[in-house]
A and B are shown apart, each in its own frame.
Chain A
Amino acid sequence: MTTQNASIKVKHVTRVEGHGNIVVDVKNGTVETCEWRVPEAPRFFEAMVRGRHYSEVARITSRICGICSVGHTLASVKATESALGMTVSKQTDLLRRLLKHGENFDSHIVHVLFLVAPDLLGAPSVFPLLETHPDVVTKAVLLKKLGCDWASLISGRSTHPTKVVPGGFASLPGDAYNPRMAEDELKKLKKMILDAVPMVTDMYEVLLSLAGNIPAFTRETEYVALVDDVEYGLYDGKISCLMPDGARETIEVEDYKSVTNEWVSPLSTAKYTKHNMDSYAACALARINTNYDQLHPEAKKIAEGLGFAVPCFNPYMNSVAQFIEAVHSAYMAVGYIDELLEMGIKDEKPVEPTKFSKGASAVEVPRGLLFHEYAYDEEGLCTEGNCIIPTNQNHANIQLDFDKLVPELLEADKSEAEIELALEMLVRSYDPCISCSTHYLDVTFKK
């Protein structure tokens, strides 16, 4: 028996960043409409950076997104540094990698524990869980606070960082005004992270007990993620495209447009991207499928414990991949802090521009691969900018997941409510960040 009729209209999907709608219409067993739509207001950041000085650009583009503002800031300063011929110090590189891990930990905790966990526990939000699972919620709140404090210590502020500037850092970590105090701040951070490990283990147990509630759906797709010789690709590297058959291709960041190939779909109102296949995924699942070997051993243990194996083609498992990455980040951070302390912190001024030209960068933000590119004139004023955000790149992949999933759910005789929940959970699993709306088109749906 298959479901014959269904009409689903979810306006402004909840527990995601930004505004997205789901529309499905099934009549007499035929899927007439099955769409993921984005009505976010356009914000025109690429127009707004024109004419602004290079020192201001990251502070503007950080405001694209409040959740991945650290990632936008890092992508922005890296693109500016590339355009202006600035090579940052080893200390800056390590501090930024430490910061990047902080952002990923922070955002993944919010997504997995606050936004996804309620689905797995059958609750509408985290708030009813305060009654039923107070211990879990309290620990989730404390881990979120750790992520915020970690990123804030390095960058000044986890939402719209202050200290990260082109060429390096505007000031030392924490409230330090000399290098020795900065080292103390880093030691403090290391202790905070190590102290949190038991709570992370508790969350692992919770996730393990709920893993059976994650829908079993698979669809083979192309995965695009950063690959970095130094570590599991996050802060830096080249673009890797991984095909379902395991074939890999590596592309220079400067050639990012040959991967993203933005196009406007007649079916939807947001720009899509495509590379070798009709869509690709750029998310934690793409990263872990691409770079599993470089995960910290402790993160691999968590992956094995959760029964997670690569290649994984289940988009719902992106949340599990994020949790594994959060563990990876915690242990990697401890290693980076040790390396920084061993080197000894120095009071460094940001390096100065050596030229004024055009440059691109790529950074993995929690929800996927982010590109920024800018050109500057001789006065250091921005003449053009381009930002391609991960949700934008995942949009076509979400749509194609819908196209495969809805007929499967109808075939399995699922109710309208069950289909609606499955689609919402799918959207949520991508951890979309719709306010990163630089490329989204705005639309009014006419009935």
Chain B
Amino acid sequence: MPERIIVPFGPQHPVLPEPIHLDLVLEDETVVEAIPSIGYIHRGLERLIEKREFTEYVYVAERICGICSFMHALCYSQGIEEIMKIEVPDRARYLRTIWSETSRLHSHLLWLGLFADGMGFENLFMRSWRLRESVLDVLEDTSGGRVIQGTCKVGGVRRDIGAEKLAEMHRALDPFEEQCRDLGDVFLNDETVKYRLQGLGVVGKDDAYALGAVGPTVRASGVAIDHRETGYAAYGDLGFKPVVETAGDCYARCAVRVKEVYASIDLIRRAIDQIPEGPLDVKVRGTPDGEYFSRVEQPRGEVIHYLRGNGTKHLTRARIRTPTLANIPILVKMLPNAQLADVPVVVLSIDPCISCTER
């Protein structure tokens, strides 16, 4: 039997923009066990709920993560709105959907670039991030912020996107989709990419479900869970079907995200077509008294904000369960039998977001 050695992976590693640590137990070059640890950048953001008024905490929520910033604010706001029985105006629901899907585009294109970089395909990395740049330009144009949008609030949204700007976005979607499909064609059909990804980090449907995985990670194993199906924001009006693959390997996880880029473009297009005129917000009266588990589908999967108020302007508890935290168990199951050189690709395939995880 080969000698077992432990190789530390992270917390600082070229493929990890944020710190997570894995102790990799190896026999020769083969991983036999992976033991994760987190907590290098724990910020205690949940505790801040006791110091900020419930309307102000949106600013904190959107700073949990720099990639799915808008969707954290949305999840928090929807939770408060549910507790306080606030009906959000239709136009605000559509604008929330447009910004959510634009954020998903930004996140998936960011991930595709990082994934290409992890595979050693530098040219593909540059192509992905060039497209991402144009998405960031749209976010900046419509919200004023490339990373933190600051547009979501309890009761609606803070700013509108004018008809002219929406028409401009709509016109830009066709050439943008064409470029994304060119890019996706490489990820889905290039022989070197397939050779690198297929059969790597395989998790079957039953295991993925039992391990509580979420997002593209679980959908790539054939489980059709996507919270947009519950119809929050304007998803109920637009209609939505989850993107599902069945192979459960790194290639399938990549394919789900590539196809979700196309789905997001389609959702934005239909949201722009159908967005109604009307107010952007409603006045928030009173204070939250009650509790709710608010759930939203982020780019990495289902995020949960558990919110609890006691009728004062400060909530008593915010507990945030982020998708990466839910995907750590499946990552631990993916790694055994992988080669050491494949570990960065397998780790990246769950799209880990550590700033979310740490809160």
A interacts with B = no
Interface residues of A (CB under 8 A from B): none
Interface residues of B (CB under 8 A from A): none
